């Protein structure tokens, strides 16, 4: 048995996560199991089948000086001529996600933190499964849920080793975690909902437009990804995250407010409603948390605002913008398997991508 | 790119974990990525390079009717003639652990829940690293710490992706977890230490002789395994777990009591000492937990009885015989990455072994 040849890596997307990944990749001790053969932004691309001559300092200028524009299908062709290759998609782009089957059918692995392909239509998801199965090329998406936390692989391991998942329940959004950890505690009083959202936005914990977090779509996408990893739920969400029962925290009256700052200003008009929910929960000895629930027996997949007793780990153990995910299974019963920690941020997301890459060269 | 040929699997040890693993392995959907080529108990062995014709129902009688006795070096030779092979050691035997280098140097992977090889002398550990590096054969030991919980791989991923581990802190023993969750709570009063140990023994949560848990050696072994996965600590425990600073909860006067039941009877003579420790902790608003700590900066690796505030996850979130492990790193800071859940038992241990096997065929 001998060492394999290096895995050729093509990276699309050079924003925060992409830059961090390139930095992690180029910092591996020599001899590296990887050869970086391509880099692409939305405007430019570079490719060298023998490996790009770049350093952590030089890659940005190398890419900036390229005259070539990205062509995904051409890239799939180029990678398919190499002995072993992987596409790393660090974008959040739907159009990149839709081309994964082109790579997989040519035997090129796909590794990505991009949720779009796995949380969208059943058709695209099935096409990914099918092309992967036929060619043997793998797709790995650890960092689509909980960033670098071991969530997706843990679920895959539970399923692959014959455990029966009964329920998955968790706080899947760092933004929602921060907002409700601050807003709803076991103690009386507390800040207004709109002030918490305003501070979260100022700290950069929300999207520029907080409605993009408060609408629950991000949580619904993560639920779709996990639910589809459970055999009995693989085909129960035909429209992906749109099929997930999702409570939006965006007041109807503010649904069409296009500016993030105007949205936060006008959100204060709804503070009394949120305060009422908080008081109701507290009267029961509970706190509010925006959670995702996958109930395998009933087939219910929902992103919702729920009450949890003040003694529950979602109340006692959470802090900051942590994610927490509980797996209730036949083996992990009555007490669940729990994973907790920062579930967002460039460094930990890139770590999840990198650990997927390392699985391919084990 | 095409699918690889099946990985040939040789299993040593057919006790609780071994039986469960064989059951999981033979239950995989067809076509299985594995071919079971050998089974060995301490007395008998069977081998077929084309794969054993066994079912979940028949393997015990097939093994029982064999006239061959196990020969580890011969097995290593046999496996080395196959294209891809793995030894799975489900024993807790030192003599099996010492032969891993023979397998690794012949290109045979090693997967095991056996802690002995990785928590023993530096010499054996270094020999394993060296032979693995030279041949490219891998050793995977996820289930040596926390059974099926994603602990070892998470640490390896943190290290491999360039994170800096600062501190690992956790309750690593299901037995110790149960004992102190019952014995030391935030509420006044509580059962005598010896009664808790007695009940734990009756429930099968302890070894037949509870001193084998209370001496802290199991926790020290897990700490040695994790510490050695951190580059700066790789060579700082020359005698492995014996080099870990370990508090034994076995009273000196009972050190030579050979019978488990006599040990529990006589332990009641020391209840006052434990009660004093519990009262001291409670006076500070704390609980007692037997924990393992790896402090990377100071190089301190210790298994000790420590006090934790009643608001700490070790006090609020733990229950039953759960393990909980916190990774404090540069990226996971100030809030750690936490993994929690059942850390012992045949089904979850076999799951950890199985997920290692699946990594080899990804």
Can you state the angle between helices B217-228 and B152-160, rounded to 10 degrees? 20
Q: Which chain A residues contact residue B360 at CB under 8 A?
A: 362
Query: In the predicted model, what is the mean pLDDT of residues A18-27?
Result: 94
Q: For residue A335, give the nearest of B158, B319, B338 by CB distance.
A: B319
Say what the pLDDT of residue A141 is: 97
Contact B332 A316 (CB under 8 A): no
Span B55-68, average pLDDT: 96
Handedness of CA B59, B61, B65, B69 (dihedral sign): positive
Which residues from chain B sit within 8 angstroms of residue A342, using beta carbons? 331-332, 335, 337
- Tell me the two tokens of residue B258: 């050979």
Using CA coordinates, name the residue in chain A closest to B328: A341
pLDDT surpasses 90 at B104: yes
Q: Which residues of B touch A135 (CB under 8 A)?
A: 1
For residues A131 and A80, the answer to whether their CB atoms sit within 8 Å is no
Which residue is closest to B156 within chain A, CA to CA?
A355
Q: Taking a C-beta distance cutoff of 8 angstroms, is the pair B315, B308 a contact?
A: yes
Contact A331 B345 (CB under 8 A): yes
For residues A273 and A271, give the distance between their C-alpha atoms in angstroms, rounded to a whole number.
5
Return the half-sphere exposure (C-beta side, CA atoms, 13 A cut-off) of residue B106.
Answer: 22
A16 annotated binding-site participant: yes
Residue A4 has pLDDT above 70, yes or no: no
How would residue A335 be classed by pLDDT, with cut points 50, 70 and 90?
very high
Supply the mean pLDDT for chain A. 95
Put simply, the answer to whether B3 touches A136 (Cβ < 8 Å) is yes
E strands present in A120-252: 139-140, 165-171, 245-246
The chain B residue lying nearest A134, using CA atoms, is: B2
**How far apart, in whole angstroms, are the C-alpha atoms of residue A258 and residue B273?**
67
Residue A216 known to bind ligand: no
Residues in chain B closer than 8 A to A348 (CB atoms)? 331-332
The yes-or-no verdict on residue A160 having pLDDT over 50 is: yes
Q: CB A331 to CB B354 under 8 A?
A: no
The reply to whether ipTM tops 0.90 is: yes
What is the average pLDDT across B152-177? 96
- The Cα–Cα gap between A277 and A87 comes to 46
Q: What are the phi and psi torsion angles at B337 (to 5°)? A: -85, 130
Query: Which of A2, A135, A160 is facing B136, going by the closest CB pair?
Result: A2
Cis peptide before B334 (omega within 30 of 0): yes
pLDDT, residue B2, reads 40
Contact A88, A114 (CB under 8 A): no
Checking if the pLDDT of B3 tops 60, the result is no
Q: Which two tokens stand for residue A98?
A: 């839709």
- CB contact (8 A) between residue B161 and residue A3: no
For chain B, what is the largest distance between any 2 Cα atoms, rounded to a whole number of angstroms? 68
Mean pLDDT of A63-78: 96
Query: What angle do the packed helices B152-160 and A346-360 form, to 10 degrees?
Result: 110
Angle between helices B174-183 and B193-202 in degrees, nearest 10: 140
Q: What is the pLDDT of residue A317?
A: 85
Dist CA A178 CA B8 (whole Å): 48
Query: B-chain residues within 8 Å CB-CB of A25?
Result: none
Q: What is the pLDDT of residue A31?
A: 87
Length of chain B: 362
H or E, element range at A260: helix A260-267
* B91 appears as a binding residue in the annotation: yes
Of A28, A335, A348, Cβ closest to residue B322: A335
The helices-and-strands tally (H runs, E runs) of chain B is 16, 12
Average pLDDT rounded to a whole number, residues B67-73: 96
- The residues spanned by each domain of chain B are 7-147+347-360, 151-343
Is residue A299 annotated as involved in ligand binding? no
Please report which residue ranges of A4-162 form alpha helices under DSSP H: 16-26, 59-64, 72-80, 94-97, 100-105, 116-119, 122-135, 152-160
Beta-bridged to residue A177, according to DSSP, are: none
Q: Do B136 and A3 touch (CB under 8 A)?
A: yes
CA of B327 vs chain A CAs: smallest distance (Å): 9
Q: Say whether A130 counts as a known binding-site residue.
A: no
Tell me which chain B residue has its CA closest to the CA of residue A151: B150
Q: What is the pLDDT of residue B314?
A: 94
Instruction: State the DSSP H helix or E strand holding residue B236, giving kind and residue range, or none if neither.
Output: none
Reply yes or no on whether A222 is catalytic. yes
pLDDT score, position B340 = 97
Instruction: Name which of A3, A136, A345 is nearest B1 (Cβ-Cβ).
Output: A136
Note the pLDDT of residue B4: 66
B25 is annotated as contributing to ligand binding: no
For A262-280, letters b (16+ CB in 10 Å) and e give: ebbeebeebbeebbeebee
Of A1, A138, A341, the CB nearest to B337: A341
pLDDT of residue B1: 37
* CB contacts, 8 Å: A362 with chain B: 138, 359-360, 362
Active-site position among A222, A276, A302, A359: A222
For the whole model, what pTM was predicted? Answer: 0.95
Q: How far is B252 from chain A (nearest CA, A)?
A: 35
Q: What is the pLDDT of residues A112-148, one digit of tens each?
A: 999 999 999 999 999 999 999 999 999 999 999 999 9
Angle at alpha carbon of residue B355, lines to B351 and B360, rounded to 5°: 150
Q: What are the strands of the beta sheet with A165-171, ordered from one edge?
A: A245-246, A300-309, A286-295, A165-171, A322-329, A337-342, B337-342, B322-329, B165-171, B286-295, B300-309, B245-246
CB pairs under 8 A between A and B: 143
- Position B355 scores a pLDDT of 94
Is the per-residue pLDDT at A325 higher than 90?
Answer: yes
Contact B332 A317 (CB under 8 A): no
Catalytic residue, from B35, B222, B302, B307: name it.
B222
Per-residue pLDDT at A253 exceeds 80: yes
Distance, CA of A127 to CA of A141 (rounded, Å): 16
- What is the spatial distance between Cα B226 and Cα B236, in angstroms, rounded to a whole number? 12
A152, A170 contact by CB (below 8 A): no
Under DSSP, the state recorded for A142 is: G
Q: How buried is residue B355: exposed, middle or buried, by Cβ count under 10 Å (0-12/13-18/19+)? A: buried
Please state the CATH superfamily assignment of the domain spanning residues B151-343 in this structure.
Dihydrodipicolinate Reductase; domain 2 (3.30.360.10)
CB contact under 8 A, A351 and B331: yes
pLDDT at A2 over 70: no
The architecture of the domain spanning A7-147+347-360 is 3-Layer(aba) Sandwich (3.40)
Give mean pLDDT, residues A222-231: 98
Mean pLDDT of chain B: 95
Nearest Cα to B353, choosing from B155, B245, B345, A22?
A: B345
Q: How far is residue A8 CA from its own chain's centroid? A: 24
Q: What's the pLDDT score for residue A1?
A: 37
Q: Which of A280, A329, A345, A326 is nearest to A151 (CA)?
A: A326
The annotation status of A82 as a binding-site residue, yes or no, is no
Q: How far is A229 from A176, CA to CA, in rounded Å?
A: 24
Task: Quote the pLDDT of residue B134.
Answer: 96
Task: Pick the residue from chain B with its C-alpha nearest to A156.
Answer: B355
Q: Where are the beta strands (DSSP E) in chain A?
A: 7-12, 34-40, 45-47, 85-89, 109-111, 139-140, 165-171, 245-246, 286-295, 300-309, 322-329, 337-342
Give the span between the Cα atoms of B138 and B132, in whole angstroms: 6
The domains spanning B7-147+347-360 and B151-343 adopt the same CATH topology: no
Minimal Cβ distance to A317: which of B154, B313, B345: B313
Cβ pair A302, A201 in contact under 8 A? no
Q: Which of B185, B169, B178 is nearest to B285 (CA)?
A: B185
- Could you check whether the bond before residue A334 is cis, i.e. omega within 30 degrees of 0? yes
Q: Is B351 left (phi over 0), alpha (psi -120 to 50) or beta?
A: alpha
C-alpha–C-alpha distance, residues B43 and A53, integer Å: 57
In chain B, what are the helix, strand and coil shares in percent, each to the nearest 5?
Answer: 45, 20, 40
pLDDT of A341 reads: 97
Nearest chain B residue to A5, by CA = B136
Contact check, Cβ <8 Å, A320/B335: yes
Q: Rounded to an integer, what distance in angstroms lies between the CA atom of residue A134 and that of residue B213?
A: 50
- Asked if pLDDT for residue A80 goes beyond 50, the answer is yes
pLDDT at B30: 85
How many angstroms separate the most distant Cα atoms in chain A?
68
The answer to whether the beta carbons of residues A244 and A220 sit under 8 Å apart is: yes
- Shortest alpha-carbon distance between residue B262 and chain A (Å): 33
């Amino acid at each position: 048995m001998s060492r394999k040849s290096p895995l050729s890596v093509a990276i699309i997307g050079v924003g925060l996560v992409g830059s961090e990944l390139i930095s992690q990749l180029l910092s591996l001790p020599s001899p590296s199991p990887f050869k970086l053969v391509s880099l692409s932004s939305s405007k430019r691309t570079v490719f060298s089948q023998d490996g790009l001559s770049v350093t952590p300092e030089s890659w940005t200028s190398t890419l900036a000086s390229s005259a070539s524009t990205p062509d995904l299908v051409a890239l799939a062709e180029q990678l398919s001529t190499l002995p072993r290759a992987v596409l790393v998609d660090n974008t959040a782009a739907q159009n990149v996600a839709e081309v994964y089957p082109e790579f997989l059918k040519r035997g090129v692995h796909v590794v990505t933190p991009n949720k779009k392909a796995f949380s969208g239509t059943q058709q695209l998801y099935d096409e990914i499964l099918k092309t992967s199965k036929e060619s043997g090329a793998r797709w790995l998406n650890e960092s689509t849920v909980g960033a670098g936390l071991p969530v997706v692989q843990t679920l895959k391991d539970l399923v692959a080793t014959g455990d029966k998942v009964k329920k998955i329940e968790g706080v899947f959004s760092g933004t929602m975690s921060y907002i409700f950890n601050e807003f709803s505690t076991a103690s009386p009083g507390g800040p207004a909902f709109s002030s918490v959202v305003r501070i979260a936005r100022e700290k950069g914990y929300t999207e520029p437009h907080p409605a993009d977090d408060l609408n629950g779509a991000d949580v619904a996408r993560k639920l779709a990804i996990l639910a589809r990893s459970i055999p009995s739920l693989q085909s129960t969400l035909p429209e992906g995250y749109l099929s997930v029962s999702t409570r939006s925290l965006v007041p109807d009256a503010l649904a069409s407010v296009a500016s993030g700052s105007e949205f936060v200003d006008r959100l204060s008009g709804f503070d009394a409603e949120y305060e009422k929910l908080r008081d109701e929960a507290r009267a029961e000895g509970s706190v509010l948390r925006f959670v995702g629930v996958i109930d395998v027996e009933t087939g219910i997949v929902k992103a919702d605002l729920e009450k949890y007793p003040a003694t529950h780990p979602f109340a006692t153990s959470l802090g900051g913008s942590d994610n927490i995910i509980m797996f209730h299974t036949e083996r992990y019963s009555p007490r669940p398997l729990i994973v907790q920690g920062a579930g967002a941020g460039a460094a930990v997301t890139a770590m999840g991508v990198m650990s997927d890459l390392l699985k391919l060269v084990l």
